[in-house]
């Protein structure tokens, strides 16, 4: 039978992919692990609306009862939001086991890319990607997101790597893996909660049309892997650099003291930073996701014009 034995593509998404209409993939970890209910569901539905308002079809991706889903209903989004941390966070290594055991799974950047590619979706909007964790020289804690970007032909629009990470090493790793890092209207890598990191990107691209042309050419050349588009958080929602860095340092110290490691690290750190900043980081997180969704949708529209 092939992949359709395991994959359910929503009719609207399937029709759009078959007819070369613009589609944008969305992850589900942000729903079940990224923020509390009902804020998570409200945010997920608003992101889908933003994508539609900008001319594309949203395809939120998850695993429900062992089925790979490209395009969720409102009821399915509500289910993931209410279930929260009871839904397993699924990266590449977890995928076959979760499917075989017919479990529910919230997809990370890596797994969302995999399922999006299976469904024929070329662009994916998220908040921030995973990367090289601080102290990785000892722990080797490096997100599977980075290797996925080097293998799977999906362009990821994000606000940079999460600021809790080692950003210089994350850039070095992406360079080693041959992943182009593009700044959307910026020469500097955005740092998720803030617009600046002091680090340069590979290329600055100023329009969605140019982004679409780069994606199209990469595909035409038969090159594997995706591209990383880093889109700075809107100025009015950018956090004070000193405040956010202090909060991150405190969160990392607590994670180390509690022995938190592996896939639990990022959710713990983001939740702790939210607590330390009095919720300001959560509002920033939501706004940067909205911003990325709009850019991804407009890029998908331009890409659909290229054939």
Full DSSP string of 9-31:
E-HHHHHHHHTT--EEEE-SHHH
**Which residues form the catalytic set?**
27, 162
Distance of CA 124 to the CA centre of its chain: 7
Residue with tokens 């004070």: 240
Q: Which two tokens stand for residue 288?
A: 């940067």
> What is the 8-class DSSP label of residue 128?
-
Q: Which two tokens stand for residue 254?
A: 């607590």
Q: How far apart are CA 63 and CA 37, in angstroms?
A: 19
Q: Are 119 and 9 in contact (CB under 8 A)?
A: yes
Residue 205 to residues 50, 64, 129, 162: CA-CA distances in angstroms? 22, 37, 19, 21
Rg (CA), the chain: 18
Query: Closest by alpha carbon to 116, among 58, 64, 158?
Result: 58
Q: Is the bond into 38 cis (omega within 30 degrees of 0)? A: yes
Query: Closest by alpha carbon to 228, among 125, 82, 300?
Result: 125
């Amino acid at each position: 039978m092939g992949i359709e034995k395991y994959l359910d593509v929503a009719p609207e998404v399937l029709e759009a992919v078959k007819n070369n209409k613009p589609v944008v993939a969305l992850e589900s970890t942000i729903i079940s692990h990224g923020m509390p209910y009902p804020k998570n569901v409200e945010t997920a539905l608003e992101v889908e609306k933003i994508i539609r308002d900008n001319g594309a079809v949203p395809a939120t991706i998850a695993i429900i009862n062992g089925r790979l889903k490209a395009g969720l209903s409102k009821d399915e989004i509500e289910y993931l939001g209410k279930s929260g941390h009871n839904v397993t966070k699924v990266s590449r290594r977890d995928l076959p086991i979760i499917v075989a055991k017919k479990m529910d799974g919230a997809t990370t950047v890596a797994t969302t890319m995999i399922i999006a590619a299976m469904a024929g979706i070329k662009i994916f909007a998220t908040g921030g990607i995973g990367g090289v964790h601080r102290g990785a020289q000892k722990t080797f804690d490096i997100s599977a997101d980075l290797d996925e970007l080097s293998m799977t032909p999906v362009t990821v629009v994000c606000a940079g790597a999460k600021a809790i990470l080692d950003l210089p090493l994350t850039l070095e790793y992406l360079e080693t893996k041959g992943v182009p890092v593009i700044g959307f209207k910026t020469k500097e890598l955005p740092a998720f909660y803030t617009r600046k990191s002091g680090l340069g990107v590979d290329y600055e691209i100023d329009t969605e049309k140019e982004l679409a042309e780069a994606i199209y050419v990469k595909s035409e050349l038969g090159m594997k892997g995706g591209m990383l588009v880093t889109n700075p958080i809107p100025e009015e929602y950018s956090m004070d650099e000193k405040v956010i860095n202090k909060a991150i340092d405190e969160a990392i110290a607590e994670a180390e003291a509690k022995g938190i490691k592996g896939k639990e690290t990022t959710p713990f750190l983001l939740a702790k930073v939210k607590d330390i900043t009095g919720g300001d980081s959560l509002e920033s997180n939501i706004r940067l996701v909205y911003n990325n969704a709009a850019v991804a949708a407009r890029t998908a529209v331009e890409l659909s014009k290229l054939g």
